[in-house]
Structure 1
Amino acid sequence: MAEPHKFKITELEEFLNNNEIPSVKKQPKTFLEIARQPHYENVISNIYAFYFDPHEEYGLGHLFINSFIECIKEQMQQVENFLDDFQEFVIETEYGTEEKGRIDLFLYNDEQAILIENKIYHHLANNLDDYWNTATKEVKTKNIVGVLLTLGKQSGNLHQNFVNVLHLDFLKAVMSNIGNHLMEASEKYFTFLKDLYQNIENMSTKLLSSDDFKFYIENQDKILDTVKFNDQAKDHIKTQIVNAWDNQPNLEVKSATLNTKQFYKYREIQKEGVDKIYFSVYFDKLLAGQKEIWVNIFLTSEYMDFYNHSEILEIIRQYPSIEGYNKRNEKEGWVFLCGKTYNLNNDQITDLQNTVEGFIKNDKFAELFDELEIKLKTLNEQRQGVENSSIDELEN
């Protein structure tokens, strides 16, 4: 039985020094992704239907249909005048077929027609014979074509009356031909179009190029070692920060549940016997290589009401190295009252526990916390006394 693979720091260092790790290409997030509908075929079909209509208010005229016909001709290697005068037509989505199927997009007039089966991630399982028979009965002409619109090239045999056009090739043709239309185009709908293009590009583009994936396969052991080492380093960072706070008198770091945002981003620190004012330390940027941590004091419950009280603000002003925030979140029930961001050098990160303990001591966070806690408790008691007096007066 082979021994399990073990990595050595020297080997890992040599590998990293002698190889350029491919950078991760982050794709811009689109509005459709924000709405969690980037890959819904009916949503994309409805957007296409809007832009196919030359009479809509976007101001791009026949740009979409002309660009689409250009892509069709390229696949058909068809004569030049095929669909050249396809200018006035009806656009229907989810067009019913004889066998109770649905044509995603049906563009037609008395003499010409284009039927489109729109596929994003789903495989082709539709009855294209049914689609074709329905379309040819509606439009009795030879100037008709079926289009299978997909993200990637269709594998296997395709229906003889259909051609395969890629979403990205289609929208590239649109963007290539848009120059003459920009003066008349609506800025709003041009922005929507660019977002649609980005959405299709995101879905069509491989996360890794062939060369990058080949690099991964050839160096998989070393890369996995690097990932393990990175995970160990992150755990070390979190442990060092937790230890620094646990070493402070009367303070305890609250445990964080695995796979929660808190586990990977920050820790909360509680003072014994106090449950409405806390410390928190954010280390997520340090884990991401930005060499930064953020320490703050935040309020919850009824203490939130005093976040901008003049006496509270005056106490914070007595600690010039600490910045006041007054960032209130009613929904989640907290106020970031004050804190400080620390940019670290390599030596400070190497000795992280002592570094963090030094920040706490030098900027007098514990002293500020105690002053604030006492004042907040006093203000809250005073308010409760006033409220009780008002109730007594009403009862009398």
Structure 2
Amino acid sequence: MNIDKFDIIKEAVFINAKLPALPKRPRKNLFDILKIQHREIRNSNILAYFFDPNEEHGFGTLFYDSLQEIASQKITALKKSHPEIEFNDISFFDELVKVRTEEQTTGAKTKTKSIDIVLEGDAWVIGIENKIHHDLANPLNTYWAHLKSKKKTPFGILLTLFPYKLHSGKLKNGHYFLNITHRELIERIQQNIQLTGDLSTTDLFYLREYFKNIESHYYHLKPKPEMHTIIQEITENYSTISKILKKKEAAENHIENLISTIFSEYGYIKAAKWYRREDKKYDLYFYIPSASELMRTNSLWLCFELRNQTNRNIINRSGFKEHFQNEFYKLQGFDQDELASSSQRTHAFIYKEDNFFQKGEPFNEKIKNVLDRLISGDTAPVKQVEQYLKDREYFFKG
């Protein structure tokens, strides 16, 4: 397809209409906000909190009972299909008395490692290797030796996002770490939970956020048919889309060059993301967003501000800002409510104009008209800012 034979806007709209909406990601939970959603230690800590019946969560042995039920059912099923496997009977494990995280192994022949979660009763001990988006490369035999060193009946669990093959948990002595998925655990907990008036809103909030965090991991694992459609459509129209993107890039570069050229006509040259007075008087700068941002919002937005030494020299920056808030407040296109001041810069004025890119109105002519209004003439806003600095002897030539 030759894109040059088609109206670029119509072609883009046509392709976009064929594409389904992107899959909606689950809303951020507390783990996302704290940026700990992938931290296994953090996940293990909150799991241990819920496992411990002596904690203040109000759920008692809900987590432990649910884990024990799943393990017992899985063992029963596995012994039918794999009668040769060896598992200790977890169904006889009684009261949970102790919960620890990151327990260092002892009495093992290999280098000391830590077990993510250890649940312990009077006569039994369970070691849980908790996996969140990590390959299984842990020394399970070392963990098992540590559990056995406690002189109690040991049991090992691999708690993972998705199922592992049975042999992944096999130990040298013929025993196994049993694989249970996070989803299996939370679904069994949801089945077993008894919602009573004794549960506080805080207890329920913690539990809900934990569930939401686990489910958010499965979002990336589950099939997304809409993404298959998007991939297919983009593949079929790849050449056309590439040409559209190249023209978009060319348009943005053209706008950037126009902005730079026109500012230079008014005595301002590009300095990083700003345009600075070429003679460097007063350290006066214009800031204007990138061309892509201007085109995306179909607007012109620019800010005139003091920076560097001149900004530092002004004793009363808030007074400067307030002066020009009042001075330009009623001028058309000015947004003086958003002025800000800091040790890096102090705003004098902000100018905005929506629907800036219009057919029949060339960008270079429109921005020239704006800069002419802002810079040229004795009463232009820029001249008023310069006069303010001159009157207070804040003259600076870098």
Name the structure 2 match of 1:39: 38
Which residue, out of 91, 95, 111, partners 2:99? 91
Q: By how many angstroms is 1:327 displaced?
A: 1.6
In the alignment, the residues of structure 2 paired with residue 350 and residue 24 of structure 1 have an alpha-carbon distance, to the nearest angstrom, of: 38
Q: CA RMSD in A?
A: 4.0
In the alignment, the residues of structure 1 paired with residue 366 and residue 23 of structure 2 have an alpha-carbon distance, to the nearest angstrom, of: 32
Name the structure 2 match of 1:370: 383
Amino acid at match of 1:161: Y
Amino acid at match of 1:246: T
Q: CA contact under 8 A between 2:317 and 2:346: conserved in structure 1? A: no
**Number of residue pairs matched by the alignment:** 362
After alignment, is 174-183 or 55-64 more displaced?
Answer: 174-183
Name the structure 1 match of 2:82: none
After alignment, is 109-118 or 206-215 more displaced?
Answer: 206-215
Q: By how many angstroms is 1:222 displaced?
A: 2.4
In the alignment, the residues of structure 2 paired with residue 375 and residue 278 of structure 1 have an alpha-carbon distance, to the nearest angstrom, of: 15
Residues 189-338 of structure 1 mapped to structure 2, 5 A cutoff: 190-206=204-220, 209-219=223-233, 220=235, 222-223=237-238, 225-226=240-241, 229-230=244-245, 232-237=247-252, 239-244=254-259, 246-248=261-263, 249-254=265-270, 256=272, 267-273=273-279, 274=281, 276-283=283-290, 286=293, 289-301=296-308, 302-303=310-311, 305-309=316-320, 311-317=323-329, 319-324=331-336, 325-330=338-343, 333-338=344-349
Q: By how many angstroms is 1:65 displaced?
A: 2.5
Which residue, out of 105, 115, 119, partners 2:127? 115
Output one character per residue of 1:334-375: Cα deviation in whole Å (capped at 9) or x when no partner: 2334313433277369954444444445x6466212211221
Q: By how many angstroms is 1:148 displaced?
A: 0.6
Amino acid at match of 2:283: K
In the alignment, the residues of structure 1 paired with residue 70 and residue 133 of structure 2 have an alpha-carbon distance, to the nearest angstrom, of: 21
Q: By how many angstroms is 1:254 displaced?
A: 1.7
Higher relative contact order (CA 8 A, sep 6+): 2
Q: CA contact under 8 A between 1:307 and 1:326: conserved in structure 2? A: no
Structure 1 gap segments, 5+ residues each: 257-266, 385-396
- State TM-score, norm by structure 1: 0.73
Q: CA contact under 8 A between 2:274 and 2:286: conserved in structure 1? A: yes
In the alignment, the residues of structure 2 paired with residue 177 and residue 230 of structure 1 have an alpha-carbon distance, to the nearest angstrom, of: 53
- State TM-score, norm by structure 2: 0.73
Q: CA contact under 8 A between 2:22 and 2:226: conserved in structure 1? A: no
Structure 2 gap segments, 5+ residues each: 80-88
Which residue, out of 342, 348, 353, partners 2:353? 342
Aligned sequence identity (%)? 20
Amino acid at match of 2:285: Y
Q: By how many angstroms is 1:232 displaced?
A: 4.1
Q: CA contact under 8 A between 1:327 and 1:336: conserved in structure 2? A: yes
In the alignment, the residues of structure 1 paired with residue 191 and residue 246 of structure 2 have an alpha-carbon distance, to the nearest angstrom, of: 45
